Amino acid sequence: MVSLLPRREGKELDRLRREMDRLFDRLAEWKPSFFRGEEGQWLPAIDLSETSKEIIVKAELSGMDPKDIDVSLSGNTLKIQGERKQETEEEGENFHKIERSYGAFLRTIQLPAEVDPDKVKATYKKGVLTLKMPKTKAETMKKIEIGPA
């Protein structure tokens, strides 16, 4: 490719071009099915929803055994942590690309309302952890009348 910019002494433009190429290479590898944390970590995608009676959290943890997942609740803070173990390589198997993430993770989620920790129900089906947490008290809205000054 012919550059439209005049050639300058030094390597500033070449260095800038290499940095831009690295940036676009990293963007091309981005996967929307999960979020990345620090280098080497992965974070499962979650859905957080609320009804009038409960808060529901769904976490995408495909390929994991439920015994490798720990869930804890402290006040309005929910922690989901665990480790997805990498499958052992088969003899004679040569990998060309590895896109699935492995290793330990920790998701900390601030819940929008108080829940009863003794009544939380957790299920794991088809790689999705579902937590149903009943609210401790129904939030009521009271209309406040504005009187004359």
pTM of the model: 0.62
What's residue 133's pLDDT? 95
Which structural domain range is residue 110 located in?
33-85+101-137
Number of domains in the chain: 1
In the Cβ-directed half-sphere of 118, how many Cα atoms lie within 13 Å? 1
> What residue ranges in the chain does DSSP mark as E strands?
34-36, 42-44, 46-50, 54-60, 69-74, 77-84, 103-110, 121-125, 128-134
Instruction: Among 21-30, 69-78, 79-88, name the one with the lowest average pLDDT.
Output: 21-30
At 22, which helix (H) or strand (E)?
A: helix 12-28
CATH of the domain at 63: 2.60.40.790
93-120 pLDDT tens trace: 777 766 667 778 899 999 998 999 999 9
Q: Look at residue 24 and tell me if it is in a domain.
A: no
